Amino acid sequence: MKILENKTAIITGAGSGMGKAMAILFAKEGANVIVADLKTERVDSVVNEIISAGGKSTGVTVNVSNEEDVKKMCDTAVNTYGGIDILVNNAGVMDDFTPVGDVTNDLWNKVIGVNLNGPFYSCRIVVPLMMKKGKGVIINISSIGGLNGARAGAAYTASKHAINGLTKNIAYMYGKKGIRCNAIAPGGVLTNIMEGATPNAFGYERMSGGFATNIRMAEPNEIADLALYLSSEKSSFVNGSVIVADGGWTAY
């Protein structure tokens, strides 16, 4: 029997990078996968790839910072597959390494909207549904930027520290209800998250001092493998953890 047989998983930011790797892997392991992403063409591509390989998948175009979009995403999972067993809040945006003195309201609201409000909206909807079933798994994709202050700008760093706190609170509050909530804190991963970036010169200069200590970048599938473990019963006693997957970067 496949690891996620008959489970339904929502994965945000599933059109590329880590989210795409998770969607394809979860489907291979038997899950019904809701592929959610801001870009419709990427959603369609991933869904078609999963179905062509014999998996089950439905796509939804979603801006996770929009509460109505998140509700539509969750409704799609329930109406199509009968419920939600796994939620992976993977969608995220960077902040161009912008230090607080240069952060505009627009940049702050964009980063917090996607990186924090999005997971909050989805968790608020999904947790009651999981409580009715008596079980469920939530994975929030954090970052080593949520562990310290020197991996990104002010908005991104704040959003990832906050998602770690949200993760631990959900884990404690609902642990006795059969719901587990963990976060993955990746280091550098080979994705397109910096696509179209225009780094703040001062912020980038301050951040770049630590780049040389990074042993290597991860492939998206390496993070997907960890997400699969956390989604499965093999991790049944793992709850409220922020698991670092950075190749040893923060060991320096």
Catalytic residue IDs: 156
Rg of the chain, C-alpha, whole Å = 17
Report the alpha-carbon distance of residue 134 to residue 152 in Å, rounded. Answer: 38
Report the alpha-carbon distance of residue 60 to residue 47 in Å, rounded. Answer: 10
Residues 6+ apart with CB under 8 A from 135: 85, 178, 179
Residues 6+ apart with CB under 8 A from 77: 8, 10, 34, 58, 83, 84
Q: Name the DSSP class of 189.
A: B
Grouping H, G, I as helix, E, B as strand and the rest as coil, residue 218 is: strand
Q: Name the DSSP class of 188.
A: S
Report the alpha-carbon distance of residue 245 to residue 1 in Å, rounded. Answer: 28
Across the chain, the runs of DSSP E, i.e. the strands, are 8-12, 32-37, 56-61, 86-89, 136-141, 179-186, 242-245
- Phi/psi of residue 91, nearest 5 degrees: -55, 135
Query: How many CA atoms within 13 Å lie on the side-chain side of 90?
Result: 30
Across 83-239, the runs of DSSP E, i.e. the strands, are 86-89, 136-141, 179-186
